[in-house]
Amino acid sequence: MTAPDLLKPALYRAEGSDTDPDHPALLGGACECGHVFFPPQTYGCERCGRMSLATRALSGAGKLLASARVHLHGGKTRAAPFTIVSVRLDDGPIVRTLLAGDDAVHPGDRMVTMLVPVTNAEGAELLDLRFVPQR
Amino acid sequence: MSKSLKELRPVYVVGIGLHRYQFLSDTTYVDLGLTAVRAALADANIEWPTVESAYVGRALLPMACGRPILRHLGATGIPIAHIENASASGSTAFRQACIEVASGTSDVSLALGVDKPMAIARAEGLTGIGNLADDAIAPFTHFALLADQYATQYGVRHEDIALVAVKNHRNGAKNPFAQHQKERTLDEILGGKKISGTFTSLQCTPVGEGAAAVIVASEDGIKRLGIAASRAVRVAASAGRSQKVNIDATRYDAVLTKETAEIAFRESGISPRALDIVELHDAFAVEEIEYVEAMGICGEGEAISRLKDGEFDIGGRCAVSPSGGLISMGHPIGPTGLGQIAEIARQLRGEAGSRQHAGARTGLAHMVGVGAVCYVHILQK
């Protein structure tokens, strides 16, 4: 049986990064000037304006900066409550997305990525990226 | 060599007018706008044909809402430009009107902010750049995350952050133009509807509609039109900035606030601790805490204890959000930054009635907007 496809394959992959082979990598970018960023883009470097941007697989591990349990959500694609986490990746960028599960988390906690099954608008089973506390 | 506003000819606020901020109603945006402009003309005691240009700040109303309002004052043919700059639209319209008068292009210019609640489409979502879950991170969650970060960094309780809302609802209860005009206890605020993180509904700005108008004039204009110079309030500084690449990429609003306010303090020669009045972008309670520290009104990590000591109350060291701020007065978007200017002018003239901060001589208006952008103005009497 093959694994389901990824919901957003341009943003993450099942394989880890060189810096953290154990957890799904985020797909960011890096500029010659040293600026490392997420999400990836090719329009030009936000720090220096250069267009020579390379993709960079970023570690799926980092430190929790903050979390918020969301009780009110207007969109139809997901149901509140859910928890949003703000994580500083070990490779630099800060990313925000959903927490998998309902475990209590606290600023400073080590967090890692994982892929969880979701259903898209067409009813297809796919995998999306979430963070969980590192065990 | 470029020049700051202060180095050009002096600009004064001479007329202010508002339509009360309110929940969505059948009132047309034309009625909202006309009410504010007519009030501002009456306040300045001038006639509409003396106004030489108009800047209309709006973020939600569709294209070209200015003339459908202003034509009912008598279509004088003046240039009308529309300013969209997210939450800072009104502040930016004010800056452009000030620059126009300071440069000598006009002697009298109008800045009008008007909006009604409508579906919001943000251009950032149309860039083609992906995102993990931005649809799940509304502004209240962005600031709920920052509140959690602040509480952790400085070891404060979330209930303490909610004290901002207690103060601002108390102020708004005395403001006839405020959307919320009711004092609230801390228990009422904490026991309200849960929104995100530790924020309850009364710690968040309401969605609403309204209008605010400010007329600015040069000294030539004031003399020529016989405007009461004793009620004119000098615009001592105008600064605008946009986000750069920050090390702490999520705290851009506070970083921008610090940078923009520093420019305005330098331009005006007024220090942050000399301010009597501050109107700031307190859409969510933690913002007031972050911004008074970023502006240097108090030291980092000190805002909660200063708030508890009453330093930011009307009658305290520096009245912060005497209008009720965005939390209580409201945030109809286009009008908000101009409503701040109106409140500060009222306070500096000594005309703020039951919410008057005694002896007010200097005031600062601050807005941030998605993008992110930040605008700061300092007024002086």
* Domain map (residue ranges) of chain B: 5-118+206-380
pLDDT mean by block of 10 residues, chain A; 135 residues: 88 96 97 97 97 96 97 86 97 97 93 95 93 94
B28-62 confidence digits (pLDDT tens): 999 999 999 999 999 999 999 999 999 999 999 99
- Tell me the CA distances in angstroms from A35 to A27, A30, A39, B168, one per residue in order: 14, 6, 13, 41
Q: How far apart are CA B189 and CA B316, in angstroms?
A: 23
Chain centroid to Cα B308, Å, comes to 24
Q: How far apart are CA B143 and CA B138, in angstroms?
A: 9
Closest listed residue to residue B162, CA positions, set B308, B378, B30, B377: B308
A85–chain B nearest CA distance, Å: 8
Between 3.40.47.10, 3.90.1010.10, 3.40.50.970, 3.40.50.12780, what CATH number should domain B5-118+206-380 receive? 3.40.47.10
Beta strands in chain B (DSSP E): 12-22, 53-57, 80-83, 108-115, 194-196, 199-200, 209-217, 233-242, 277-279, 319-320, 362-369, 373-380
A7–chain B nearest CA distance, Å: 10
Chain length of chain A: 135
Cβ B132–A35 below 8 Å, yes or no? no
Q: What is the pLDDT of residue A2?
A: 75
Edge-first strand order for the sheet with B53-57 is B80-83, B53-57, B108-115, B209-217, B12-22, B233-242, B373-380, B362-369, B277-279, B319-320
Structural contact between residues B337 and B88, judged by C-beta atoms closer than 8 angstroms: yes
SS3 category, B282: coil
Which residue's structure tokens are 């202003």?
Answer: B70
pLDDT tens per residue across all 381 residues of chain B: 899 999 999 999 999 999 999 999 999 999 999 999 999 999 999 999 999 999 999 999 999 999 999 999 999 999 999 999 999 999 999 999 999 999 999 999 999 999 999 988 889 889 999 999 999 999 999 999 999 999 999 999 999 999 999 999 999 999 999 999 999 999 999 999 999 999 999 999 999 999 999 999 999 999 999 999 999 999 999 999 999 998 788 999 999 999 999 999 999 999 999 999 999 999 999 999 999 999 999 999 999 999 999 999 999 999 999 999 999 999 999 999 999 999 999 999 999 999 999 999 999 999 999 989 999 999 999
One-letter identity of residue B44: A
**Per-domain residue ranges of chain A:** 26-133
Any chain B CB within 8 A of the CB of A92? no
Q: What is the pLDDT of residue A1?
A: 57
B145–chain A nearest CA distance, Å: 5
Contacts of A46 in chain B (CB under 8 A): 245
In 10 A of CB B24, how many CB atoms?
12
**Helix, strand, coil shares of chain A as percentages rounded to 5?**
0, 45, 55
